[in-house]
Amino acid sequence: MTQLPTRYLSNAPQNLPAVRIGFVNGEVGLGLFAARDFAKDEFIFTEAPILTARFNENFAADRSLMASQLRAYTDALARHRDELVVAYPRLAARFAIAPPVWEEARVVLDERENSRMGGFLVHGRYAGCGLTGEEYEAYTGRLRKKVVGMTGGVSEEARQLAILDFFKNYAFEVKRDVSAGGAMPTVVTTGVASVVSSVVGGGKGGGAVVSAAPSAATRHACIFLLGSLVNHCCTPPPPVPEGSSSPRLLYGIRLGGGSGSSDTTGTDEQDLQDTPPVGPNCSWRIGPSGLARFVPAGHICVQARRDIRAGEELTWDYGKRHKGFDCACETCKSSSRLGGFVSQCGVI
Ligand SMILES: C[S@@+](CC[C@H](N)C(=O)[O-])C[C@H]1O[C@@H](n2cnc3c(N)ncnc32)[C@H](O)[C@@H]1O
């Protein structure tokens, strides 16, 4: 095995409890939460993909793409049905698969049951769930009713659209560098991420399910059982330099009106000093690349952008202008409390 430069290994993720699954709210759904404190720049976990399918620009609905996605999901369901249905109940419901009742779901979510949810983690351990039975039922009860009401099965077209939607919103894109013989993927750091087919067999979860032979395009889209549960948070605008007459920013949030006013009337600045920082607390890379060179090809590596406290929700910036949902992130909530700013998602 090639010896990696020590600078890549010095802060590699530790094999300690890292993340929990938790419930954010009925609109956002599930999320991933820190299971312990993390220092800025610390690596939190690395994970192998559970699904790998073909990728095309903008996830345009071409038949071979959808067929590849559908095959990937069907194959993965055969091997990891419980984990996939519990982590992604909205998708399962579109396939007429009802979410299990809480008593069954908690066994899947429990870290003591051979860590099924953490089965694709390479670094960092799954630490169980922070979801209560009430939250789970509130989230899945509606889906269960919907499945019961689905008579006559699900058409092939409806399945294809469901899986296309899912990949659009949950997958990471990876572009394989053909000039390097396909061995080293080139990381594409735009929008939702990316992965490669060369990860077959990688990860202690028994390997990713690869549904389609690598095409000439060499671009793939991957889903990570835990990594794809991380929700979006908008990056606040950069602070205005000292001495500038522009509106002042605290924690990256413009004080006063969104129209450029610097009026802070009614704002208790001392209280704001005590508010926790807003903005995404994580970033991700797909290995091997740069600092994540110790990460196996096609695996996602998640790093703390700032200090994170145990229990805090992990978030990153999806970076896409049109996200396809009404953003409910902390940055947007804080900015609307303080007068608003124009986020990447539009005017808040
Ligand atoms: C990658 S998934 C994250 C996991 C998702 N919460 C779940 O329970 O399946 C992305 C989806 O989560 C929801 N989401 C993520 N971040 C959000 C945010 N800031 N505001 C509202 N919804 C969000 C949206 O439905 C989005 O399409």
DSSP letter (8 states) at residue 2: P
Q: Where is average pLDDT lowest: 175-179, 233-237, 298-302? A: 175-179
Confidence of residue 278 (pLDDT cuts 50, 70, 90): confident
Closest C-alpha to ligand 1, atom 14: 28
How many angstroms separate the CA atoms of 155 and 34, rounded?
39
Closest C-alpha to ligand 1, atom 22: 28
Residue 251 has pLDDT above 90, yes or no: no
Summarised one tens digit per residue, pLDDT across range 61-120 is: 788 889 999 999 999 999 999 999 999 999 999 999 999 999 999 999 997 755 789 999
**205 touches ligand 1 (CB under 6 Å):** no
**191 touches ligand 1 (CB under 6 Å):** no
Tell me the whole-structure pTM to 2 decimals: 0.80
**228 touches ligand 1 (CB under 6 Å):** yes
Which atom of ligand 1 approaches the CA of 90 most closely? 9
What's the CA-to-centroid distance between 243 and ligand 1, angstroms? 39
Q: What is the pLDDT of residue 319?
A: 87
Comparing CA positions, the residue from 81, 89, 85, 84 lying closest to residue 141 is 89
Which atom of ligand 1 approaches the CA of 87 most closely? 9
3-state secondary structure 156-186: HHHHHHHHHHHHHHHCEEEEECHHHCCCCEE
CA angle 71, 74, 80 (to 5 degrees): 130
Please give the structure tokens belonging to residue 343.
Answer: 């986020």
Query: How many percent of the chain have pLDDT more than 70?
Result: 66
Q: Assess contact for 79 and 209: CB atoms under 8 A.
A: yes
Among 53-67, 150-164, 278-292, name the most confident range.
150-164
**160 touches ligand 1 (CB under 6 Å):** no
φ and ψ at residue 219, rounded to 5 degrees: -115, 135
Comparing CA positions, the residue from 238, 308, 250 lying closest to residue 274 is 250
**Domain ranges within the chain, ordered by starting residue:** 6-236+280-317, 238-277+327-348
What's the CA-to-centroid distance between 159 and ligand 1, angstroms? 20
What's the CA-to-centroid distance between 339 and ligand 1, angstroms? 24
Q: What is the mean pLDDT of residues 188-201?
A: 31
ipTM of the complex: 0.99
Residue 199 has pLDDT above 50, yes or no: no
Rounded mean pLDDT of the chain?
76
One CATH from 2.30.30.100, 1.10.10.10, 3.40.30.10, 2.170.270.10 for 6-236+280-317: 2.170.270.10
**253 touches ligand 1 (CB under 6 Å):** no
The position carrying tokens 């369901």 is 77
**169 touches ligand 1 (CB under 6 Å):** yes
Q: Pairing mode, if any, of strands 121-123 and 43-47?
A: antiparallel
How many angstroms separate the CA atoms of 348 and 328, rounded?
10
Q: What's the Cα-to-Cα distance from 8 to each of 4, 122, 151, 290, 314, rounded to whole Å?
A: 7, 16, 54, 8, 23
What's the CA-to-centroid distance between 231 and ligand 1, angstroms? 5
**Could you tell which of 25, 27, 28 is best to mutate to test the pocket of ligand 1, judged by most ligand atoms within 8 Å of the CB?**
28
**What is the DSSP secondary-structure string of 255-299?**
PS-TTS----TT--HHHHHHSPP-S--EEEEESSSGGGGGSPTT-
How many angstroms separate the CA atoms of 287 and 187, rounded?
8
The position carrying tokens 């069907």 is 74
Which atom of ligand 1 approaches the CA of 329 most closely? 19
Number of other residues whose CB lies within 10 A of the CB of residue 298: 28
15 half-sphere exposure, CB direction, 13 A CA radius = 1
Examine residue 214 and say whether the peptide bond preceding it is cis (omega within 30 degrees of 0): no
